[in-house]
Structure 1
Amino acid sequence: VHLQTGQCGNQIGAAFWQTISGEHGLDGSGVYNGTSDLQLERMNVYFNEVR
């Protein structure tokens, strides 16, 4: 569960997810464009794939 409150909370939350996505090689739409298997390790800690 992730909860953000107010403008500051929203900005911090957005920056957090942008950083985590970039570290794992995900683009803005959630597509993996990484170059290393290391980026895929433990991706399930933050992300779940929905079909």
Structure 2
Amino acid sequence: MNQPVERYCTIEESLRESMKEVKLMREGKLPKRSWAESMKELKEELEEEGFLDEE
């Protein structure tokens, strides 16, 4: 059976941080990322944490 993964923050904190990032992107203070860039970044993070096998 799978063990639960501990989060570094709560879901609420994660959503708040994401909303702050979107606001900064809309204000031009953070670069906007494409869907492909976001997925590539997510994949790299998951591989670093050992959740995906590196190909």
TM class, shorter-length: 0.3 to 0.5
TM-score (norm 1): 0.41
TM-score (norm 2): 0.38
Q: More relative contact order in 1 or in 2 (CA 8 Å, sep 6+)?
A: 1
The structure with the greater share of residues assigned to helix is 2
